Structure 1
């Protein structure tokens, strides 16, 4: 994916340049970034693109936030409980 599509406003790029940024700030920037993506953009692919482009430092808080986002996006869907889990559609 093109980096321009993955980070249209440069929010992720700028987060890596902020000295002393913490996890809370990175989560806020991540939310702004996710909302700024075009509706047709695959968010999982965009996370992979920005992480591979900017995430050289794995201990950076934004790298950790992106890795968490990828892990939750790639997790299998949870089983639905109750009647919805027993009755087929």
Structure 2
């Protein structure tokens, strides 16, 4: 699947076209994209491809920052922390 297929509704692409868009609006658009994104490949691959496609031309665009933060967020380890098992040695 090409990176174009990672944004089938064109949400990310259109965010870059909106003049004067705020970071809060970009976060909202990103959230909407995340809820409707294709299942495969994984989220990190899709975000990286979208960032590579759009951020080169607009590295300081609010959506570029949101995509970078999204990449950093998916890099964090997932799963439960703590609880009884977490305290056992």
Instruction: Give the TM-score of the pair, scaled to structure 1.
Output: 0.85
The alpha carbon displacement at 1:22 in A equals: 0.4
Q: What residue ranges of structure 1 are gaps of 5+ in the alignment?
A: none
Contact 2:6 2:38 (8 Å CA) reproduced: no
The two structures, once aligned, show a CA RMSD in angstroms of: 2.0
Whole-Å Cα distance in 2 between the matches of residues 8 and 47 of structure 1? 13
Instruction: Give the TM-score of the pair, scaled to structure 2.
Output: 0.85
Contact 1:8 1:36 (8 Å CA) reproduced: no
Q: What residue ranges of structure 2 are gaps of 5+ in the alignment?
A: none
Whole-Å Cα distance in 1 between the matches of residues 71 and 14 of structure 2? 20
